[in-house]
Structure 1
Amino acid sequence: MKVVIRIDWKLAVASAALLYAIQVPAQQHCTSGIHIEGTVMDPTGAVISGAQVEAADGQKTVTDTSGAFLFPCVPITAATITVEADGFTQGVTKVDERVGGNAHVRVQLAVAAVQTDVQAVDDATAMDADHGVGTRTMTAQEVQQLADDPDDFLRQLQALAASGGGLPGSATIVVDGFQNASALPPKNSITSIRINPDMFSPEYERAPYLGGRVEILTKPGADLFHGALFFTDSDGNFNSTNPFSTTATPAGKRRYGFELNGPVVRKKSGFALALEKRDIDEFSVVNAKGLDTANNQIALQQTVAAPQRLWIASARNDWQITPNDVGTLSFSANNNSLGNQGVGGLTLAEAGYSSSVSEYNLRLSNVLTLSPNLLHETRIGYTWKRTTQTPNSLDPSLQVLGYFSGGGSTSQNLNNRERDLEIDDDVMLTRGTHSFKIGAQSLGIFVHDYDPDTFNGVYIFGGGSAPMLDSGGNPTGQTTTISPIEQYRRALLNLAEDLQQHISSQVALH
Structure 2
Amino acid sequence: MNVSTCFVRALMLCALSCPVSSAAFAQTAKPTAVTTSKLPVLSGDVLDATGAAIPGAAVHLHSDQADADAVSDNIGHFTVSLAPGTYTLTAEFNGFRTLHRSNVVIVAGHNSALTLKLLAASDQEIEVDASQAADTSSSANRSALVFKNEQLDTFSDDPNVMEQQLESLSGGDPSNPPQLYVDGFSGGQMPSKDEIREVRINQNPFSAVYDQFGSGRIEILTKPGANKLHGNLDTQWGDSALNARNPYIVGTLPAYDSQNIYGSLTGPVNKTTSFFANVLVENTNSNASVNAKSVDPATLLPVQITQAVPTQSHWQSYRGRIDHQFGKTDTFIGQYRFNNSTAENSGVGQLVLAEAGSNSVTHRQIVQLSDTHIFNAKVILDSGLQYIRTVLTQAPVSTAPSVTVQGAFTGGGAQSQQSRDHQDQWELQEYFSISEGKHFIRTGMRFRANRDANFSRSNYNGQFTFPDLTTYTNALAALGSGSTVTNLPANARPTLFQYATGTAAAELTTADFGFYAEDEWKATKNLTLNYGVRFESQTAIPDHFDPAPRLGFAYAYTRPKAKAPLFVVRGGFGLFYTRFPSGNLLTAQRQNGVSQLSYNLSAASSTDTSPVSFYFTSLAAGASAGALNSLTASTSTPYRIAPNLTSPVTYQGMISGEHAFGKYGNINVGYYRRRSIHQFDSENVNAPMPVTGLRPMGGTQNIYQYSSDGISDGHSFGINGNLNIGSRLNAWGFYGIGSQTSTTGSFSSSSFVSNSYNIRQDEGPITGYSPHQLYTGFNAKPGLGFNVNMFLAVRSRSYFNITTGSDNNGDTIYNDRPSFATSATPAASLRQTPWGNFDITPQAGETIIPFNYARAPGVVYTESSISRDFRFGPRPAGKPDKDGKPARPGDAKYRLRFGAEFDNLFNHVNRAAPIGVLTSPYVGQSIAIGSNFGGNASANRSIVLHAGFNF
Q: TM-score, normalised by structure 2?
A: 0.36
Question: Measured at CA, do residues 371 and 463 of structure 1 come closer, stay the same or move farther in structure 2, by a change above 3 Å?
Answer: closer
SS of aligned partner of 1:130? helix
Show CA shifts across 1:414-473 (max 9, x none): 544321222222322222453222333322222234555532112345579xxxxxxxxx
Name the residue aligned to 1:175: 182
Question: Measured at CA, do residues 155 and 371 of structure 1 come closer, stay the same or move farther in structure 2, by a change above 3 Å?
Answer: same
Take 2:217 and 2:445, find their aligned partners in 1: how far apart are those partners? 20
Query: For residue 494 of structure 1, what is the amino acid of its counterpart?
Result: G
Name the residue aligned to 1:494: 482
1:391-470 aligned at under 5 Å gives the runs: 391-400=396-405, 404-411=409-416, 413-450=418-455, 453-461=458-466
SS of aligned partner of 1:409? coil
- Paired residue for 1:259, among 258, 264, 267? 264
Are 1:202 and 2:208 matched, yes or no?
yes
Take 2:140 and 2:349, find their aligned partners in 1: how far apart are those partners? 47
Name the residue aligned to 1:74: none
Question: Measured at CA, do residues 336 and 493 of structure 1 come closer, stay the same or move farther in structure 2, by a change above 3 Å?
Answer: farther
Take 1:259 and 1:314, find their aligned partners in 2: how far apart are those partners? 9
Question: Measured at CA, do residues 145 and 409 of structure 1 come closer, stay the same or move farther in structure 2, by a change above 3 Å?
Answer: same
Query: For residue 479 of structure 2, what is the amino acid of its counterpart?
Result: A
Query: For residue 184 of structure 2, what is the amino acid of its counterpart?
Result: G
- Paired residue for 1:226, among 220, 230, 236? 230
1:84-103 aligned at under 5 Å gives the runs: none
Take 1:168 and 1:334, find their aligned partners in 2: how far apart are those partners? 30
Query: For residue 126 of structure 2, what is the amino acid of its counterpart?
Result: V
How far 1:242 sits from its partner (Å)? 5.3
Does the CA-based 8 Å contact 1:186-1:274 persist in structure 2? Answer: no
- Paired residue for 1:484, among 454, 469, 472? 472
Name the residue aligned to 2:147: 138
Question: Measured at CA, do residues 441 and 44 of structure 1 come closer, stay the same or move farther in structure 2, by a change above 3 Å?
Answer: closer
SS of aligned partner of 1:154? helix
Are 1:305 and 2:305 matched, yes or no?
no
Take 1:246 and 1:191, find their aligned partners in 2: how far apart are those partners? 45
1:345-356 aligned at under 5 Å gives the runs: 345-356=350-361
Question: Measured at CA, do residues 254 and 119 of structure 1 come closer, stay the same or move farther in structure 2, by a change above 3 Å?
Answer: farther
1:106-255 aligned at under 5 Å gives the runs: 113-116=125-128, 128-132=137-141, 134-162=143-171, 165-167=172-174, 170-178=177-185, 180-204=186-210, 206-208=211-213, 212-238=216-242, 239-240=244-245, 244-255=249-260
SS of aligned partner of 2:400? coil
Does the CA-based 8 Å contact 1:331-1:361 persist in structure 2? Answer: yes
Does the CA-based 8 Å contact 2:402-2:461 persist in structure 1? Answer: yes
Name the residue aligned to 1:15: none
Name the residue aligned to 2:293: 288
Does the CA-based 8 Å contact 1:463-1:487 persist in structure 2? Answer: no
Question: Measured at CA, do residues 244 and 44 of structure 1 come closer, stay the same or move farther in structure 2, by a change above 3 Å?
Answer: closer
How far 1:285 sits from its partner (Å)? 4.1
Q: Mind listing any 5+ residue stretches in structure 2 that lack a counterpart?
A: 1-47, 53-112, 117-122, 494-605, 610-951
Take 1:503 and 1:159, find their aligned partners in 2: how far apart are those partners? 50
Does the CA-based 8 Å contact 1:172-1:208 persist in structure 2? Answer: no
How far 1:345 sits from its partner (Å)? 4.4
Question: Measured at CA, do residues 326 and 492 of structure 1 come closer, stay the same or move farther in structure 2, by a change above 3 Å?
Answer: same
Which is higher, the Rg of structure 1 or of structure 2?
1
Name the residue aligned to 2:748: none
Show CA shifts across 1:134-178 (max 9, x none): 32433333223422111121122223322xx32398212112223
How far 1:271 sits from its partner (Å)? 0.7
How far 1:374 sits from its partner (Å)? 2.0
Take 1:433 and 1:275, find their aligned partners in 2: how far apart are those partners? 46
SS of aligned partner of 2:375? strand
Show CA shifts across 1:259-285 (max 9, x none): 1111112x2111101222333332134
SS of aligned partner of 2:139? coil
Take 1:45 and 1:320, find their aligned partners in 2: how far apart are those partners? 18
Query: For residue 219 of structure 1, what is the amino acid of its counterpart?
Result: K
Take 2:608 and 2:273, find their aligned partners in 1: how far apart are those partners? 84
How many correspondences in the alignment?
379
Does the CA-based 8 Å contact 2:293-2:302 persist in structure 1? Answer: no
Query: For residue 155 of structure 1, what is the amino acid of its counterpart?
Result: Q
Name the residue aligned to 1:16: none
Take 1:136 and 1:463, find their aligned partners in 2: how far apart are those partners? 48
Query: For residue 489 of structure 2, what is the amino acid of its counterpart?
Result: D
Does the CA-based 8 Å contact 1:220-1:272 persist in structure 2? Answer: yes
Take 2:304 and 2:146, find their aligned partners in 1: how far apart are those partners? 56
SS of aligned partner of 1:371? coil
Take 1:299 and 1:156, find their aligned partners in 2: how far apart are those partners? 35
1:17-36 aligned at under 5 Å gives the runs: none
How far 1:334 sits from its partner (Å)? 4.0
Root mean square deviation, CA, Å = 3.9
How far 1:326 sits from its partner (Å)? 1.9
Q: Mind listing any 5+ residue stretches in structure 1 that lack a counterpart?
A: 1-41, 47-84, 89-110, 465-481, 506-510
Take 1:457 and 1:414, find their aligned partners in 2: how far apart are those partners? 15
Take 1:271 and 1:112, find their aligned partners in 2: how far apart are those partners? 27
Does the CA-based 8 Å contact 1:166-1:212 persist in structure 2? Answer: yes
How far 1:364 sits from its partner (Å)? 1.2
SS of aligned partner of 2:253? coil
Query: For residue 290 of structure 1, what is the amino acid of its counterpart?
Result: V
Show CA shifts across 1:214-245 (max 9, x none): 22222221121111111122221243375654
SS of aligned partner of 2:260? strand
Take 2:300 and 2:284, find their aligned partners in 1: how far apart are those partners? 38
Query: For residue 191 of structure 2, what is the amino acid of its counterpart?
Result: P
Query: For residue 141 of structure 1, what is the amino acid of its counterpart?
Result: E
How far 1:497 sits from its partner (Å)? 4.3
Take 1:425 and 1:44, find their aligned partners in 2: how far apart are those partners? 30
Name the residue aligned to 1:18: none
SS of aligned partner of 2:245? coil
How far 1:331 sits from its partner (Å)? 0.9
Sequence identity, in percent? Answer: 24
Take 2:146 and 2:607, find their aligned partners in 1: how far apart are those partners? 74
Question: Measured at CA, do residues 311 and 170 of structure 1 come closer, stay the same or move farther in structure 2, by a change above 3 Å?
Answer: farther
Does the CA-based 8 Å contact 2:202-2:213 persist in structure 1? Answer: no
Does the CA-based 8 Å contact 1:227-1:258 persist in structure 2? Answer: yes
Does the CA-based 8 Å contact 1:158-1:169 persist in structure 2? Answer: no
Query: For residue 272 of structure 1, what is the amino acid of its counterpart?
Result: F
Task: Judge which range, 409-418 or 295-304, deviates more.
Answer: 295-304
Question: Measured at CA, do residues 228 and 406 of structure 1 come closer, stay the same or move farther in structure 2, by a change above 3 Å?
Answer: same
Take 1:322 and 1:215, find their aligned partners in 2: how far apart are those partners? 29
SS of aligned partner of 1:141? helix
Q: TM-score, normalised by structure 1?
A: 0.63
Does the CA-based 8 Å contact 1:314-1:333 persist in structure 2? Answer: yes
